[in-house]
Structure formats: structure tokens, C-alpha cells
Amino acid sequence: MKPTAAQACGQFGGPLQDRREFLRRTGAGFGSLAFSYLLGLDGFSARAGNAPLNPLAPKSPHLPARAKSVIWLFMEGGPSHLDLFDPKPALDQLAGQPMPDSFGKPITAMGTAGNTLMASRRNFKQYGRSGLWVSDWYASVAQHADDLCVIRSCWADGLNHVGSVCQMNTGDILAGRPALGAWSTYGLGSANDNLPTFVILTDAGEVNGGPKNWSSGFLPAVYQGTQFRNDGAPIFHLAPPKTIGAKQQRGKLDLIAKLNQHFAADKPEDSELAARLNSYELAYRMQTAAPEAVDFSRETDATKQLYGLDQKETQKFGGNCLLARRLVERGVRFVQCYSGSGSAWDAHVDLEENHSKMCRQTDQPIAGLLTDLKARGLLDSTLVIWGGEFGRTPFNEKGKGRDHNPWGFTIWMAGGGVKPATVVGATDEIGLRAVEDRAHVHDVHATILHLLGLDHLKLTFLHNGRDERATINDGEIIQPALA
């Protein structure tokens, strides 16, 4: 007689009495499979030591990537959208008058008592097939109008520089969260073996808030940004002492690796130790790669002139833009170039004097970067971003300056899958607030991650019992900006 299903399964653990007993015993296995799957989504397996030892190993994106690298041109201090990319005829007509009550009374960093609306003194023209309006301060960048996607409707939450720079980098005005470059490294790994994946370049003083702006936050420390110095070796202590040869250096690292591996043998859960092992090896490889990356001696004179390296005013920021191109060529995924680090764009007292100086320093280098990337076939795979932590107010501050404006300001993007020759969103008639297709900082971050092939809703990290993500609790992709 043919055995029943229950009898047939009895050989796997003793006789089963009936179908109900069979399901009771095997059902727990189904739950374990589901639980294992959920732990995988949560990243528990990686943290438990089952992941590859190299935390920077390349990872598959969530969706087809449009950009391989990001170059973020960060104008620290707050460039005036009203005098660069967002002309307002109504503001010119109302100049000298108090701001109409219909626009509300914003609370600004310096207050609004006695302030009146201030016209722009710039000469705006339309460029390219898009008819993009650009002021004479950025005449060289304007020649690339058909490469730009200008988002005029950005807004943020901070009033002051430290919190606002922090939010533009990390999504929050309070310190402690990972920078967007750290999130992208966590999500995608490294595209090179010899250089950092996330690099910071500054041109003047200390960035407001300092290293917290490129911190890994609650992510493992291996994902934090690396700041390159302007002079000398790009990274402190990169070169070994002259008394130590390559063979001795290699032998020392091999011995350290053996000792650490021995120590880690019974500690598979210690991911920080694995990261430390990889950092030693990366530092060793960087001793050759990093100095070569910052060496411009093989660049042609024409290329150096393109970036303005032959002029005192443009030499420093132009050098950083050229270095950014060289880094993305070598597989660096995320590069931030700060202009005016230390809030040099902060034009409270004299907008004309301040912005004339800062635009002279940046106009030619930015145009040179776009020209060079395009000529080398890199623009399609490199997302270039321009902007600051906020814009400036339509009313004056101290007579000839403008105050901080987080309620409506402009950034632009080029290459890397954005829609060229496009203007997205708008501010109101005087440029105070974003009113059409409003784009919060979290929306900007979601869009950047999307272009890199990462879904900001799926890019999560378990921290204090919560699945954290780069865009915190919101963020939507800026669809009109996509090609």
C-alpha cells in the first residue's frame, strides 16, 4: 500500500502522526527563511561578518546609473540667485520700497528692520536654445547654457551658515549624520583601488562646521570623506620616512596584517577591524597614486590656461577643478570643490564687491571644467553640481548687501543624466520664496542618488533600531530635471 505523505516524511525525524503534525514541524522552517531574508535586507549579515572583508568593494546599484561620478562645486557662503541665474524685473521696479506685506515677514539671520527691496545691478542676457538667463558675472559659464539644468526653486531649513552647510551636505542642520558622499560610497563601494572614493578640496579657510560636513556619521568610518591639502603632499603622512624603503614598508604592513588577521580569526563580527586592515592597504597604494593624481606636470599649457591656472585670481579654484577632473578620471566617485571655504560668498555688506571677486575666481574655472569634461567624453558620466547652502534676500542688508535666504534659491546641474537646456521651478516675483516645483535639500539629494543608480528609499542603514536613510523621512526625485 502506498504510504501517506506524513508516513513518507517520517524518516526525517521519526514517525509523524498526521498532516497537522507535519505542517507544525516544517512550518518553522518557512519562518526562518523569511526571517533570514529580512536580516539580509537590513544588512545584518554584513555586520555579522558574512560580507566580503573589503567594505569598499564595488556593489551593484539599485537601478541603471546615469552618472559614475559627482563633482560638486560648492559656493560656500550663499551666492545670490537674484544676481546670477534668477532675474526679477518686479524687484527692479520696487527697489527702494519696503517689502509688500503680501510676501510675509521672514525671520532672517540679521533681521529685516528698516530694510528695503534692492534691485540687481547686473546685466542679464539669454543664452543657448533654452534662452537661459545668466548675468554678466558668469559670462563664461553662460556659454554652456545648453548643458545646464537650472533649478530655481530650491529651499532649505537653516538660517545660518554652519547649520545650512551641514544640511546641504548631510540632510540635517544638526551635526552627526553621514554626508551624501559617504552614503554614495556605502551604497556603491569604490570604483578604484588606489585613491579615496570621497574627496574634499578647499580653496581658502576652514569650511563652516569642518569635517562634520564629510563625516560618515553613524556609517562605518571607512566611508568618510578625505580632505586633500592645497600644497605639498595631498594627504598628511602619506609618504613614509626617507629612511624606510619600499621593501621594509611592505614587510611592515604584511606583519601588521598577519597580526590583525590572527586577532580577528575568532571575532568575525568586528567589521571595524576589517575596515582597518583595508585602510592600511589603501594608504600603501595611495603613496604612489595620490601624488601622481595631483601632479599637473603632464597637463598641456592649453589645458592649464583653460582652467585659469595662468592667472592669480583663478589659479587656486581652477587647480581644484582640474584636480577634480583628474580624480574622476581615476575612479574617484564623489569630489567636492569648495569656493570661498569659510563663507567667502557671504555678501552682507557689499554684494557688488563680494560677488565680483568670487565670480572672477570661479567663472573661468567652472567653464573650463565643463569644456574639458565634454571634450574628454566624461560629461555624460559625471554629474556636475553648482550651488551654495542658500541664496540671498531681495531686500538689502546694511545698505548694499543681501541677507541669507533659505526659502528660495538656485542650484544647477550638468551632465550625468540631467536634462540639459532646462529651467526647473520658480521663485515668486521678487525671488524670496520658491513657489513652483519646490525642491527641498532632501529632493536634491534623492535626485543625485537616483542619477548614481541608488534608490534613496532602499539605501538604508540600521542605527539605534531605525532604518536610516540619506533623505531622513522625505525626499522626492526632481523628475523635470531628468533627461
Q: Beta strands 434-436 and 226-228: pairing type?
A: unpaired
Residue ranges per domain, the chain? Answer: 5-42, 64-234+294-481
Cα angle 257, 226, 258 (rounded to 5 degrees) comes to 0
Q: How many residues in total does the chain contain?
A: 483
Q: In 330-410, which residue ranges form alpha helices assigned H by DSSP? A: 351-375
CB 274 within 8 A of CB 57: no
Q: Name the least confident of 15-19, 275-279, 322-326.
A: 15-19
pTM above 0.75, yes or no: yes
CB 469 within 8 A of CB 459: yes
Q: Beta strands 334-339 and 69-75: pairing type?
A: parallel
CATH 3.40.720 fits 64-234+294-481, yes or no: yes
pLDDT at 126 over 60: yes
Q: What is the mean pLDDT of the chain?
A: 87
| 212 sits in which H/E element | none
283 pLDDT tier (thresholds 50, 70, 90) = low
pLDDT at 116 over 60: yes
Q: DSSP class of residue 417?
A: T
263 pLDDT tier (thresholds 50, 70, 90) = confident
* Percent of the chain whose predicted confidence (pLDDT) is above 90: 69
Q: Measured between alpha carbons, how far is 224 from 219 in angstroms, rounded to an integer? A: 8
C-alpha cell, 339: 569656493
How confident is the model over 52-111, as pLDDT tens digits? 467 899 999 999 999 999 999 999 999 999 999 999 999 999 999 998 889 988 888 887
Q: Which of 191, 181, 153, 146 is nearest to 74 (CA)?
A: 181
CB 202 within 8 A of CB 230: yes
Per-residue model confidence (pLDDT) at position 43: 41
Per-residue model confidence (pLDDT) at position 17: 56
Per-residue model confidence (pLDDT) at position 274: 62
Beta strands in 256-408 (DSSP E): 334-339, 382-387, 391-397, 401-405
| 71 sits in which H/E element | strand 69-75
How confident is the model over 353-411, as pLDDT tens digits? 999 999 999 999 999 999 999 999 999 999 999 999 999 999 998 889 999 999 999 99
Per-residue model confidence (pLDDT) at position 11: 45
The more confident residue out of 234 and 304 is 304
Per-residue model confidence (pLDDT) at position 246: 66
Per-residue model confidence (pLDDT) at position 249: 66
C-alpha cell, 139: 559670462
Number of other residues whose CB lies within 10 A of the CB of residue 174? 11
Mean pLDDT to the nearest integer, 20-34? 52
Per-residue model confidence (pLDDT) at position 191: 93
Per-residue model confidence (pLDDT) at position 233: 65
Mean pLDDT to the nearest integer, 13-28? 55
Q: Beta strands 148-155 and 132-135: pairing type?
A: unpaired
Strand partners, 413: 149, 385
How confident is the model over 306-352, as pLDDT tens digits? 999 999 999 999 999 999 999 999 999 999 999 999 999 999 999 99
How confident is the model over 424-452, as pLDDT tens digits? 999 999 999 999 999 999 999 999 999 99
Q: Measured between alpha carbons, how far is 34 from 374 in angstroms, rounded to an integer? A: 48
Q: What is the DSSP string of 112-179?
A: -TT--B------EEEETTTTEEEEGGGHHHHTTGGGEEEEEEEE-S-SSHHHHHHHHHHSSSSS-SPP
115 pLDDT tier (thresholds 50, 70, 90) = confident
pLDDT at 243 over 60: yes
**φ/ψ (deg, to 5) at 86:** -135, 70
C-alpha cell, 373: 569634461
Q: Measured between alpha carbons, how far is 209 from 162 in angstroms, rounded to an integer? A: 5
Per-residue model confidence (pLDDT) at position 173: 98
